[in-house]
Amino acid sequence: MEENNISKVIRPALKKKSKAKLWLWIFGVMLVLAVGYIGYTKYGDWRYDQDEQIYQEGAYLGYNQAILQVVENVNTCQQVPITYLDNTGENRTIKIFKVECLQQLQQ
């Protein structure tokens, strides 16, 4: 009889313990998933910012190089054609020439 009383006390305690363990596992898995998702999102944002920064630096260097090439060619007293898109999306070309070179030609 005593054995039945002990089993009546122990079994519910074991069930409560296993339920608590199950909830702890569920909470742990949910926590790992949440941290993984947040980490992945933050990493993606960081990578986007890095790529954007590299793109901006490349564009700046490209514009800088293009301007320097135009200035170098203009300094040789040559016309420099520059083609660009206007507001309607059509290609337009203008020619740049150094004013000092015109004055030298007139003299």
Domain limits for position 84: 77-107
Whether residues 68 and 95 share a domain: the answer is no
Alpha-carbon span 1 to 60, nearest angstrom: 89
Strand locations in the chain, DSSP E? Answer: 80-85, 91-96
Residue 40 corresponds to which tokens in the numbers above?
A: 């992945």
In this predicted structure, the answer to whether residue 48 has a pLDDT above a threshold of 80 is yes
Whether residues 50 and 101 share a domain: the answer is no
| Model pTM above 0.75 | no
Structural domain tally of the chain?
2
Whether residues 39 and 62 share a domain: the answer is yes
Q: What is the pLDDT of residue 19?
A: 78
In this predicted structure, the answer to whether residue 47 has a pLDDT above a threshold of 90 is yes
Q: What percent of the chain has pLDDT over 70?
A: 83
Alpha-carbon span 107 to 103, nearest angstrom: 6
